[in-house]
Amino acid sequence: MISETDRAYIAGLFDGEGSITYKQYMRQRKHQKKAYPTWSIRMEIAMTDKSVLVWLHEVLGVGTLGEKRYKTKYTVGWKKQWRWRCQFRDAFYVATLIWPWAHVKFEGIQKIIDHYSHIKMNGKVVNLEEYKQLMSLE
């Protein structure tokens, strides 16, 4: 179980350094004849301090951690950046953990929670209203 202090710290870290991608676009896969709507749901934090992201990855237990690759020649001399990211249901898990403490990224976190709130997670249907009540009691 992740402590309330750690969840609050992660929310602050995410508000300051994180980004959320929540959009729908048309995508055609190799075996399909036409493009279909596809969701891109992702949470990401990129920074130069690797130790913070290693801790985050270990505490949350989801997502991937790796070096952020630059695609331009103008990055010579820049510090190496590291990136932690998760997507889809892992993003839903992280969003529900940090939701009570989010400020800057609250709108994006709320979109992710609303998107998945009707889906079964670990054999249980997540009821957003019950979750909000439970979080306010802690």
pLDDT of residue 122: 52
Q: Which residues of 80-100 are buried (b: 16+ CB within 10 A; e: fewer)?
A: ebbbbbbbeebbbbbbbbbbb
Helix (H) or strand (E) holding 31: none
What is the pairing mode between strands 82-87 and 36-47?
Answer: antiparallel
Q: How far apart are CA 87 and CA 21, in angstroms?
A: 9
- The overall average pLDDT reported for the chain is 85
- In CATH, what number is assigned to the domain containing residue 15? 3.10.28.10
Residue 121 in this model has a pLDDT that exceeds 70: no
Higher-pLDDT residue of 106, 124:
106
pLDDT of residue 136: 58
Segment 24-82, tens digit of pLDDT? 988 888 887 888 888 899 999 999 999 999 999 999 999 999 988 777 777 777 888 99
E strand segments, the chain: 18-27, 36-47, 64-67, 82-87, 120-121, 124-125
Report the number of distinct structural domains present in the chain.
1
Residue range of the domain that includes 127: 4-137
